[in-house]
Chains A and B, each alone.
Chain A
Amino acid sequence: MSSQTRRKERIDRGIKVRSEGLYALMSWREMAYLILPRFMLIAGLLCLPFLMPGMYWQRVISIVCIYAIVAISFDFLAHYVGLVCLGGAFFIGTGGYIAGIFNAYFGMPPVLTIPLAAIAGGAFCTLLLLPCLPLRGVYFAIVTLMYPLFMARIIEAFDIFGGTDGILGIDSFPSAFVEQYFVVGILLVFVFGLRRLVTTDMGLIFTAVMDNDQAVRASGINITYYKAMAVFIASAMGCLAGACLTHIYMWSGISQFALDFSILPIAATVIGGAGTLVGPVIGCLILVPVSELLRDFGTLRIVFYATILVAFILFRSDGIMAFAKRKYEQIERWTQI
């Protein structure tokens, strides 16, 4: 190693340091520096439905947003509460079925079924996951991976809710624009809402539960309550996404419990940047359209994104978001040693 005489040095940009804290208010430039990334995300997502050519790609945007909502709920649970939940499909399926049942059997409009599915589905998922909350690590991951499979088998075995055919004849959104702006809006609310949440006192407790739950318990805080709260938030988000999915496809069925809904959000989180809450959205924006483009290749696209996933875990485990943040905030240069 003696031949190596220079190394890369990373230094914070001046504007990043100047715009920290209250000093950002001193000039428009610093404020613009802070606002630019947020603004790009919001404006980009709001413009997307206009930019897409044709109905098909507009539909893809809705699907991207739905996957992104599930992905940020995974990211929130895994990296801010320490519960690795591999069962995104459980939330999607529960929400989808609840929305489907209320719409097709009781004739409620989507305006009512979607919030209802979020609240009731969140409560239902939390109730079912409640006994598993003391588990950690691999154990929680495996048990949550099993839940969606279990639900699918139950529905199949008892032949309830349309059995293997699913529930048909569900109302769709009034128009394509309402559909897209609804999911985009919900996604933005969740991204910024969760970022707020993790910095509040409650978020602090969540992080503490992840780092050392015994210490939290020793401080007289009921950790099961807080874990249940976190699971409720995440599962309500997942159920809401599932309800939207049901109304978009006008159908809810067993395939909403399929592994795709558990795996793709996780892949998106790993690629976009774990623990950033925005990373999963970026990951979904990349992964879902790519997998749509590769639809002609059939199952080869699953091979493709599994390979990307492994490559990212091995070589770029901090994801795109961390990379972009580094480029935005720091300058790199070579220095002699």
Chain B
Amino acid sequence: MEILVYGTINSVSLALMGLGFAMVYGISRVPNFAHGALYIICGFVTWTILQKLGLPYVVAIFLSLAVNGILGILMYRFILIRVRGMNISEIISSYAIGLAILEGLRYGGFRGMTYTLPVFMEGMVFIGGVPVDYHRIIMVIVGILLVGGLWLFTHYTRLGLALQGMAQDERAALMLGIDSDFMAMLAMGFGAVLAGVAATMILPLGNIVVESGYHVLIMSIAVCIVGGLGSWIGAFFAAFIIGFAQILTVVFIGSHFQMVVALLAIILTLILKPSGLFGQQKELEDRV
């Protein structure tokens, strides 16, 4: 029962981390290695607004999500748009941006254990004999609502359909009058907002530390690779596989091996089935 409950919670938090990365890659084909940096920066912006400006928590969260979205859009508009389509340059430049943000934050004095966000709701409840605090339950609900919302958004709204069209075939989308650069910019913005949502959900459970930016990047890449790069539904299911695998290793082998599981999952997936669980379209192109 413990495994089931904590496995689900862990999986949902992994899914939250991975969704943004999967969305950006799926639509604009830009591997956004600054994902972890966006995640951390959202936490710090929320903290700053909450502690320094003294605005209410809800306002702080929405403001920082907006800031994150704008940051993502600016990043795409001014930097990534110039290197789009060049794999190496995309990876190197987005990674360099992420590195600059994270290390800049570290230099700015954001380190140590002092930065924490309050949880949404104190207290806990017993599910089948396992104590779970309310915040984790809210996180699971938000995660599932988010995935449902995304599914509805990409299937039933004009904008969502345009994004999906671009993900499937960029040239055909261009012919049908979808502005691909604008859409890619929006996708980047959405990805940044999703990273921010993950941050506001997960960060109150611990401290805001710069190192977790790298951790989030690795985990989101793991989730996306296993699920198939660019398929966010795949990323969601892969999050459950990796999440439960991690909890099982923690219970039966030891918590040191938690990270090994994720990395092993990436390497094994790439070797056995590079297109991942749900990604089909790139299979022929990227394998010899």
* With known contacts A141-B87, A153-B259, A306-B99, A132–B104 Cβ distance under 8 A: no
- Interfacial chain B residues near A13, Cβ < 8 Å: none
A31 at the interface (CB under 8 A from B): no
The distance from the CB of B17 to the nearest CB of chain A, in whole angstroms, is 16
Residue total for B at the interface (Cβ-Cβ under 8 A): 39
| A299 & B93 in contact (Cβ 8 Å cutoff) | no
A153, B218: Cα distance in complex, Å:
13
A318, B93: Cα distance in complex, Å:
15
Partner of A136, one of B104, B221, B288: B288
The distance from the CB of B249 to the nearest CB of chain A, in whole angstroms, is 10
Partner of B286, one of A136, A217, A309: A136
- Interfacial chain A residues near B88, Cβ < 8 Å: 78, 84, 141
Partner of A309, one of B96, B214, B271, B288: B96
Partner of B288, one of A84, A134, A267: A134
A117, B237: Cα distance in complex, Å:
42
A142 at the interface (CB under 8 A from B): yes
| B218 & A149 in contact (Cβ 8 Å cutoff) | yes
A30 at the interface (CB under 8 A from B): no
* With known contacts A135-B270, A139-B270, A314–B91 Cβ distance under 8 A: no
Range of interface residues on A (Cβ < 8 Å): 35 or more
Please, which residue of chain B has its CB at the minimum distance from the CB of A314?
A: B82
B158 at the interface (CB under 8 A from A): no
| B83 & A135 in contact (Cβ 8 Å cutoff) | no
Q: Name the interface residues of B2-38: CB closer than 8 Å to any CB of A.
A: 31
Residue among A136, A137, A313 facing the most chain B CB atoms (10 A cut-off)? A313
| A141 & B91 in contact (Cβ 8 Å cutoff) | yes
Q: Mark A102-134, 1 if CB is under 8 A from B, else 0.
A: 000000000000000000000000000001101
5 cross-chain CB contacts under 8 A: A138-B87, A156-B256, A217-B288, A309-B92, A313-B89
- Interfacial chain B residues near A153, Cβ < 8 Å: 256, 259-260, 263
B206 at the interface (CB under 8 A from A): no
The distance from the CB of A316 to the nearest CB of chain B, in whole angstroms, is 12
* With known contacts A135-B274, A135-B287, A150–B260 Cβ distance under 8 A: yes
| A143 & B267 in contact (Cβ 8 Å cutoff) | yes
The distance from the CB of A288 to the nearest CB of chain B, in whole angstroms, is 17
- Interfacial chain B residues near A307, Cβ < 8 Å: 96, 100
The distance from the CB of B238 to the nearest CB of chain A, in whole angstroms, is 14
The distance from the CB of B5 to the nearest CB of chain A, in whole angstroms, is 25
Please, which residue of chain B has its CB at the minimum distance from the CB of A270?
A: B92
- Interfacial chain B residues near A156, Cβ < 8 Å: 256
Please, which residue of chain B has its CB at the minimum distance from the CB of A209?
A: B288
| A157 & B270 in contact (Cβ 8 Å cutoff) | no
Q: Name the interface residues of A141-160: CB closer than 8 Å to any CB of B.
A: 141-143, 146-147, 149-150, 153-154, 156-157
B106 at the interface (CB under 8 A from A): yes
Q: Mark A238-250, 1 if CB is under 8 A from B, else 0.
A: 0000000000000
Please, which residue of chain B has its CB at the minimum distance from the CB of A317?
A: B89
